[in-house]
Every structure is written in structure tokens, then in C-alpha cells.
Amino acid sequence: MIADIPGSVHNPGNLSKTMKNSILHKADSRGDANHGWLHSRHTFSFANYYNPRRMHFGALRVLNDDTVEAGKGFGTHPHDNMEIISIPLEGDLEHKDSMGNVSVIKHGDIQIMSAGTGITHSEYNKNSDRQVKFLQIWVFTNREGVTPRYDQLTLEIADRHNKFQQVLSPNQEDEGVWIYQNAWFHLGRFDKGAGADYKFKKGGNGVYAFILNGRVTIDDTVLDERDGFGVWNTDQVSIMANSQDAEVLLMEVPMIA
């Protein structure tokens, strides 16, 4: 296992094709940005947090663990040519964008914006009495200049009990939302002692696991809440829960430079 490596090494072309590689990002090693109304932990370099050894994991560019105070939020701001995914963990997040979409997403939902040629949007904590917590995830697109698009989906949380539920893919006809990238996201919630094997969907991809709750073992590595663990140069990983209600987000992405 590699404790920390430069972002450029995430290109599998620079690595042995026969040896499984992995990288561990402990929760307390993330960037920490506390703006009062927003407390964000950055797994990869973002805004004022810059670490040349933590730029991305393949096509996974941003993984922000955000907590927004009651009634506060992100004012209108632009994006382009990026796949932007939001996964609420607690509370209600209100979204507005330049395409005319106005919606509220909450725990159990997933939201996707393909920014394409350009989009502006805002995100606010809809509630005046409690925080909202959500993951903000950016994935490099494989199709630039597309017409911007928005989608959200309410997931059946029971469908991830002791197994992985697909929540995102490259295919419009498949389970979950879809994006312009050969990426697949899955969520799993496991009882203590339960687990599952995850087989990669596409050769040459890697998987980045983010532990939402509890403690799990992935292959031979023990991971705690908010730890991140990337694996590539293999086609399968094994996950086992070491605590009750362990919850894992798996993000399979191409291992681009």
C-alpha cells in the first residue's frame, strides 16, 4: 500500500500492470476549511487547500465533505465541463440553477449536473434550525462542450442493506443517475460481520472508497469513518464491516493522468 503519492502517478500507464496498487487517505489528513457558515474537509486539493500529492484520484477530482449552517449556503457561481455530484447525508439542500431548476435534495437523494458549456447555480441549507451535510463530488468529463443538464433521483435506501446499490453510471438506461464518464458509484450499508465483493465494471479503472460511517476492512486495510482508500491495477475488492451500520461509498473511475 502507498501512503501518499503524487497525482500524476494515478496514471496506470506509469505503473506495473500486474501489481495491485492502493493509496490511503486518513480522515485527519484532509484539508480543513472552516468559514463559519461552512465547514469543509477536502480529500483533494480545492480552493485554498493545495497539496501537490493530493490533486485527484484518476477522474475523481473533488471530494468535499461539507457542513452548512442553518439558512446559509453557496451563492450563485459558475461551472463548466465538469460532472458535479451532490449526495446529501443529513438535512435539506436547496438548489437553483440557470436552467430554471429549483429543487430540494435530502438524505436518500443523489443529484447530478453535467456543467458542459457552462452553468450557474446556488445551494443553500433550506432549514433555519439545523445543519445540512452533504458530499460535493467532481468528476472529469469525457465529453466537453455538451449542453448542460440536471437530474436528481430518490434512492431506495433499503436496497443497499448488506450489498452495494448502484447510484450512478455512464448509462441512461441503467440504475441511478448518469454522467458523461465511464464511472460507477455504489453505496452500501452493512451489519457487523457482513460484507461484499465489488467487481470493477471496466478494465483499467480504479475504485476510491470513502467511509461514511463505522469501520470496515477493504482487502487487508482497516478504515475508519471519513477515511478514503483508492485501489487500482486490479479488478475486484472485498469489503467487510467491522462495526454495526458501516456505510461505504465506492467510486469507480478511469485512472487518467
For residue range 225-238, list pLDDT tens digits in order: 999 999 999 999 99
What average pLDDT is seen over the chain? 93
pLDDT at 68: 98
Q: What are the pLDDT digits (tens) for 189-226?
A: 999 999 999 999 999 999 999 999 999 999 999 999 99
* Global pTM exceeds 0.85: yes
Look up the domain containing 210 and give its range: 7-254
Whether 134 maps to a domain, the answer reads: yes
pLDDT at 10: 38
Whether 159 maps to a domain, the answer reads: yes
Q: Is the pLDDT higher at 5 or at 136? A: 136
Range 76-102 average pLDDT: 97
Whether 172 maps to a domain, the answer reads: yes
Beta bridge partners of 248: 188, 211
pLDDT at 60: 98
Whether 2 maps to a domain, the answer reads: no
Whether 1 maps to a domain, the answer reads: no
Cβ-proximal residues to 8 (8 Å cutoff; 6+ apart), any chain: 14, 257
Whether 77 maps to a domain, the answer reads: yes
Q: What are the pLDDT digits (tens) for 124-144?
A: 999 999 999 999 999 999 999
Q: Are strands 38-42 and 195-199 parallel, antiparallel or unpaired?
A: unpaired
Cell of 134: 452533504
Number of folded domains in the chain? 1
CA-CA distances (angstroms) from residue 217 to 21, 121, 124, 221? 16, 38, 35, 5
Whether 15 maps to a domain, the answer reads: yes
Cβ-proximal residues to 126 (8 Å cutoff; 6+ apart), any chain: 91, 92, 93, 94, 104, 132
Confidence of residue 26 (pLDDT cuts 50, 70, 90): very high
CATH of the domain at 128: 2.60.120.10
How far is the C-alpha of 7 from the C-alpha of 64, rounded, in Å? 17
Confidence of residue 11 (pLDDT cuts 50, 70, 90): very low
Give the Cβ contact number of residue 81 at 10 Å: 17
Contact 254, 220 (CB under 8 A): no
Whether 75 maps to a domain, the answer reads: yes
Range 102-123 average pLDDT: 97
